[in-house]
A = this chain, B = another copy of it.
Amino acid sequence: MSEARTLSLAEIAARLGGEVVGNGQTQIARVASLAGADAQSITFLANPKYRAQLAGTRAGAVILAPAARAATALPRIVAAHPYAYFARVSALLNPPRPEPVGRHASASIDASAEVDRSASIGPHVSIAAGVRIGAHTIIGAGCHIGAESVIGAHSRLYSNVVVYERCRIGMRAIIHAGAVIGADGFGFAHEADAGGGAWLKVPQVGGVVIGDDVEIGANTTIDRGAIEDTVIGDGVKLDNQIQVGHNVQIGAHTAVAACVGIAGSARIGRHCQIGGAAGILGHLEICDGVTISPFSLVTKSIHKPGVYTGIMPLAEHRNWLTRAAHLNRLDELAQRLADLEKQSKR
């Protein structure tokens, strides 16, 4: 995310493919939205509904799909997937700020830990016995890594991430600040024989296993398994403040939006998309390719790909009051309807 670098359209296409139309020497310093662009910006059109904005953009260049090739006279790059192409251009123009290789003087690292020499260990980090940290991995300030945990190469943990003991995280992970990996699952036995109905803690002896190319959002929590492991597949993307219960399995390339809660032992398929603040009850199964709408609760297994929703519509409050009253007597309404039907058949 530095500022000095510029690239010409021709240089961009040389690295990322696509066809340059117009002046290939146009210099690009930054990415921008259609509305916010200036002469040194490259922007993109992926959704036809923004065509009107395209007419007014002051961008230096635009990325377009083949079908929109003629939609502007600006210098442009024609690419099959404009938004993905834009993401790659942005990555070229905004390389991550480099972190110093080696161990910050204030880090506390157990002698038995194996930290690759190319890794960067930030201030106030603690790394316990037997931990292994892969090549080029960055451990941000204030992270704490529990005993015998493993973090793969080319990963980045931002500040104040906590990884409990015996967790395994793959390569190229991105874990945002405040995430907690491997805390105890919520497992208690009802001690029926003890007086007073107290709860007895069930030790959570499984771990957490996270695949490659996983991103985990800020303050998200992934609990360790009760007996076996909690498993997050390759390429899974988890947004902020998600709760993943013990023994959950999430299939590869599933994306979960913020504030979702996934109860213990739920199994979610591959390529699913779970909307924000949705919920998934425990011990059920969701097949591959399912989309759950935001704010919707999954209470049973889903065996058919598709989109599923359970949202209570919003209304002006006084209308909602009436609606809630009707909902509270929905049984009576149905009964009255059945009575009328019976009567009309006589």
Please list the residues of chain A having a beta carbon within 8 angstroms of any beta carbon in chain B: 1, 30-33, 36, 80-81, 83-84, 86-88, 90-91, 94, 97, 104, 106, 108, 122-124, 126, 140-142, 144, 147, 158-160, 162, 164-166, 174, 176-178, 180, 183-184, 186-193, 196-203, 205, 213, 215, 217-219, 221, 223, 227-228, 235, 237, 239-241, 243, 245, 252-253, 255, 257-259, 261, 263, 271, 276-277, 279, 281, 293-300, 306-317, 319-324, 326-328, 330-331, 333-334, 336-337, 340-341, 343-344
A142 contact from B144, B191, B340, Cβ within 8 A: B144
The verdict on A81 contacting B240 (CB below 8 Å), with A142-B124, A323-B331 known, is no
> Which residues on the B side are within 8 Å of A334 (C-beta)?
326, 333
Q: For the complex formed, measure the closest distance between the CB of A228 and the CB atoms of chain B, giving whole angstroms.
A: 6
Q: Chain B residues with Cβ under 8 A from A160's Cβ?
A: 142, 144, 160, 162, 178
Would you mind naming 22 contact pairs between A and B with Cβ atoms under 8 Å apart? A1-B205, A31-B203, A80-B193, A84-B190, A87-B201, A87-B203, A91-B201, A94-B205, A123-B126, A124-B142, A142-B142, A158-B162, A180-B218, A186-B258, A218-B221, A219-B221, A221-B241, A299-B314, A308-B315, A309-B314, A326-B331, A337-B337
Assess A322 versus B331: contact at CB under 8 Å? Given A243-B240, A255-B199: yes
Contact of A200 among B88, B323, B324, B330 (CB under 8 A): B88
Q: Tell me which residues across on chain B come within 8 A of A252, comparing CB atoms.
A: 196
For the complex, give the distance between the alpha carbons of A330 and B178 in Å: 44
Q: Which of B147, B237, B309, B344 contacts A343 (CB 8 A)?
A: B344
New A-B pairs, 13, CB < 8 Å, besides A308-B316, A310-B314: A1-B165, A33-B227, A36-B228, A94-B205, A142-B160, A162-B218, A186-B240, A221-B240, A279-B295, A298-B314, A313-B324, A326-B331, A333-B337
Least Cβ–Cβ distance between A77 and chain B, in angstroms: 15
From residue A244, how far is it (CB to closest CB) to chain B in Å?
9
Known contacts A126-B124, A164-B177, A183-B158; A312 and B331 CB within 8 A of each other: no
Judge whether B165 and A198 touch: CB under 8 Å: no
Q: Judge whether A340 and B331 touch: CB under 8 Å.
A: no
Does the CB pair B257–A259 fall under 8 Å? Answer: no
Look across to chain B and name the residue whose beta carbon is closest to the beta carbon of A320. B309
Measured between beta carbons, the chain B residues less than 8 angstroms from A165 are 1, 97
Please give, as numbers and ranges, the residues of chain B lying within 8 Å of A31 by CB-CB distance.
203, 205, 227
In the complex, what residues of B have CB within 8 A of residue A203's CB?
1, 31, 87, 90-91, 94
The distance in angstroms between the C-alpha atoms of A341 and B342, with both chains bound, is 12
Q: Are B312 and A316 in contact (CB under 8 A)?
A: no
A203-B90, A279-B276 known; A162 and B186 CB under 8 Å?
A: no
A90 interface neighbour in B91, B205, B219, B293, Cβ under 8 Å: B205
**Which among B1, B94, B314 is the interface contact of A297 at CB below 8 angstroms?**
B314
Q: Quick one: given A87-B200, A186-B217, A310-B312, are A144 and B141 in contact (CB under 8 Å)?
A: yes
How far is B241's CA from A241's CA once the two chains are assembled, in angstroms? 8
